[in-house]
Chains A and B, each alone.
Chain A
Amino acid sequence: MLQAAPNPLMKVENLVVEYSVGGKTIHAVSDVSLEIARGETLGLVGESGCGKSTLGRAVLQLRQAVSGKVLFDGHDLTTLKGEPLRQMRRRVQLIFQDPIASLNPRRRIGDIVAEPLVIAGVKDPEERKRRVAEVLSAVGLDPALVSGRLPHEFSGGQCQRICIARSLVLNPEFVICDEPVSALDVSIRAQILNLLEEMKARYGLTLLFIAHDLAVVKAVSDRVAVMYLGRLCEVGPSEQLFARPAHPYTALLIEAIPVPDPDVRPTQSVPVGEPPSPIAPPSGCRFRTRCPRADARCASEVPELRLVATGQFAACHHPLI
């Protein structure tokens, strides 16, 4: 099931991640399974708080999972420790949403980008300098001009270029981009999305691209996974999923996108109440409290992901296709 390729680079199996707050459990990621093929970009969408970042952090072992496996190139990262884990981690990198906040304001750009090399034990300063210059040029910045400067001297878009350079300096194979353009302006957003695509081709990367904007996700993803309140709703090839969504939540998300065309009247949104709480998620299908198709079965039985079309899976008792 959910086979992306015979030999996926990243494979997440039944991952469960929880937080405990004031004696209560937040079910942030519940039983999520995913595969990402070598060279593929998998987009992950869903509304705020649905668990996208938590999933990304758990994949990187920055947050410990309650249960489940994270197989990277065949190795289960959840059981690795010490040096073997460090070795694996070099091959996996993360780019954050807020480019400015993720750069140390007191350090120079050259040092910020070189930091992963230092941590990884690259001792030769000339070698470090060469690698830093190479990635800075790759992301469209002039190493001679920017290396000695501080983050506050750069715009949000330039800071994101710096973050991308830093994430690439160790030649990773897999990069998790957690909302890399959400904080950027429309005009800068397009520049950074193009840059990510270029970097992917140039360095042969595999990407997990997290965002809440469906159009942004579609622009860069081969396949898309839709998440709602800690669970996966639907996974499928981008074009197919957007053309024929099977899960009612995917359909709702697509409908809600504002279209820049005055002749397309905005569809009247469903007057839904507050999204349910991840502390006490609804029984059965977690989307049922907002779903126009919900019935008794949806309240009692958790829908499993099943095949609805070639390569497309949906977790719904009454899929649209």
Chain B
Amino acid sequence: MSGALLSVENAVVDLPTPRGNLRAVDHVDLAVGAGRTLGIVGESGCGKTMLSRAVLQLLPKKAKLSGRVMFDGQDLTTLSAEKLRKLRGRSLAVVFQDPMTSLNPVLTIGTQLIETIQEHLELDLAEARQRSIELLAAVGIPAPEQRLAQYPHQLSGGMRQRVAIAVALSCEPKLLIADEPTTALDVTIQAQILDLLAREQQRRHMAMIIITHDLGVVAGRTDEVAVMYAGRVVERAPTPALFKQMRMPYTEALLAALPKLDVAPHTPLPAISGRPPDPTRPLKGCSFSPRCRYSAGRCASEKPQLCSAETPEHLYACFHPIAARVGA
């Protein structure tokens, strides 16, 4: 993992709750290099957002993080609040699912962009304004000059997400984390936003993490994918390798459960039965075992560790990985 722009090492996030400790992120290792895109996939509550908030050092106050978050040569877990704030505006940027989370509803779009730019780059007002207009144009906003005077609520959801992306890009970040940037949007708008992110990423040689619950979104748009389940990364591989041969039964089941356009209507979907375990009641064995159709032997009593078989880049946490069963 040396040479990576970001590497998360053995991250654990614990949250105290009335029901007891909730381990939202459980011993996660990840890395992203400059110019690369990592996709993080998994169903609701599996810890995707907590993991990205751990990277950003924006965890809820009561949360406890252990492990390291190495970014651009420094361990973010040891930085002061002031240093982190500078870093977040400048080289580490984020776009959330709901653009209203990233945008301030009472400030015009112009004010938000210009202030962010001026805070982090040494530009005067006229230059910052010019830069804002260029950014809005770059993210595909028609009539960018007039938009500067508008408030977020005066724009459609798709437009707002574009503005949030413009703000995130305004200081030329080295890493952009997009947490379900298109989940709230329509398919046509989703495709536009994802194209926009890909284009800006290439142009800036920026590293990017796309968080989503849709395997379809990561397939064509990432270099590497990490699949999360119940707080852990359960499979990680270069995107083509993952889709060519899924090893972890959960990943396979997740893909199979997606309705597909090339399947005839009224074909029953291969659903995953049950639901993820209660995160305050961790299971002793594999977290997926109650739902896994291959569960056998030690699956219910022992935790499978993330390991690789044929290729060092393809990791999975499973005692009975899929290819191993073929012919066995």
Q: Give me the interface of A with B, judged by CB distance under 8 Å.
A: 47-48, 155-157, 185-191, 193-194, 197, 212-216, 218-222, 238-239, 242, 252-269, 271-275
**What is the CB-to-nearest-CB distance from A313 to chain B, in angstroms, rounded to a whole number?**
18
| B303, CB-defined interface residue at 8 Å | no
A186 touches B156 (CB 8 A): no
| B266, CB-defined interface residue at 8 Å | yes
CA distance A186 to B217 in the complex (A): 13
Most buried by A among B194, B253, B259, B271: B259
CA distance A267 to B194 in the complex (A): 11
Contacts of A48 in B (CB 8 A): 157, 185-186
B259 touches A215 (CB 8 A): yes
**What is the CB-to-nearest-CB distance from B259 to chain A, in angstroms, rounded to a whole number?**
4
**What is the CB-to-nearest-CB distance from B288 to chain A, in angstroms, rounded to a whole number?**
11
Contacts of A238 in B (CB 8 A): 265
With contact pairs A189-B257, A191-B273 given, residues A47 and B189 touching in the complex (Cβ less than 8 Å): yes
0/1 per residue, B224-239, Cβ < 8 Å to A?
0000000000000001
Which of B20-28, B62-70, B101-109, B208-216 forms contacts with chain A? Answer: B208-216
**What is the CB-to-nearest-CB distance from A222 to chain B, in angstroms, rounded to a whole number?**
6
Contacts of B259 in A (CB 8 A): 189-190, 193, 213, 215-216, 218-219
A260 touches B271 (CB 8 A): no
Residue from B140, B195, B243 within 8 A of A268 (CB atoms):
B195
Most buried by A among B158, B186, B243: B186
B265 touches A220 (CB 8 A): yes
A185 touches B243 (CB 8 A): no
Most buried by B among A156, A218, A221: A218
B220 touches A265 (CB 8 A): yes
Q: Give me the interface of B with A, judged by CB distance under 8 Å.
A: 43-44, 140, 142, 155-159, 185-192, 194-195, 213-217, 219-221, 239-240, 243, 253-255, 257-261, 263-273, 275
CA distance A275 to B189 in the complex (A): 10
A218 touches B272 (CB 8 A): no
B265 touches A222 (CB 8 A): yes
With contact pairs A258-B217, A258-B219, A266-B195 given, residues A271 and B140 touching in the complex (Cβ less than 8 Å): yes
B269 touches A219 (CB 8 A): yes
18 residue pairs A–B, Cβ–Cβ below 8 Å: A47-B189, A186-B257, A187-B253, A214-B261, A215-B258, A218-B259, A218-B265, A219-B259, A221-B265, A238-B265, A256-B191, A259-B220, A262-B220, A266-B194, A267-B191, A269-B191, A272-B192, A275-B158
B213 touches A185 (CB 8 A): yes
Contacts of A264 in B (CB 8 A): 219-220
With contact pairs A186-B257, A187-B272 given, residues A212 and B187 touching in the complex (Cβ less than 8 Å): yes
With contact pairs A260-B219, A265-B220 given, residues A194 and B269 touching in the complex (Cβ less than 8 Å): yes
Contacts of A265 in B (CB 8 A): 220
Contacts of B186 in A (CB 8 A): 47-48, 212
**What is the CB-to-nearest-CB distance from A108 to chain B, in angstroms, rounded to a whole number?**
22
With contact pairs A239-B264, A252-B188, A258-B219 given, residues A188 and B275 touching in the complex (Cβ less than 8 Å): yes
Contacts of A256 in B (CB 8 A): 187-188, 190-191
Residue from B158, B187, B243 within 8 A of A260 (CB atoms):
B243
**What is the CB-to-nearest-CB distance from B243 to chain A, in angstroms, rounded to a whole number?**
5
Chain A residue with Cβ nearest B189: A47
CA distance A254 to B188 in the complex (A): 9
Residue from A220, A255, A272 within 8 A of B266 (CB atoms):
A220
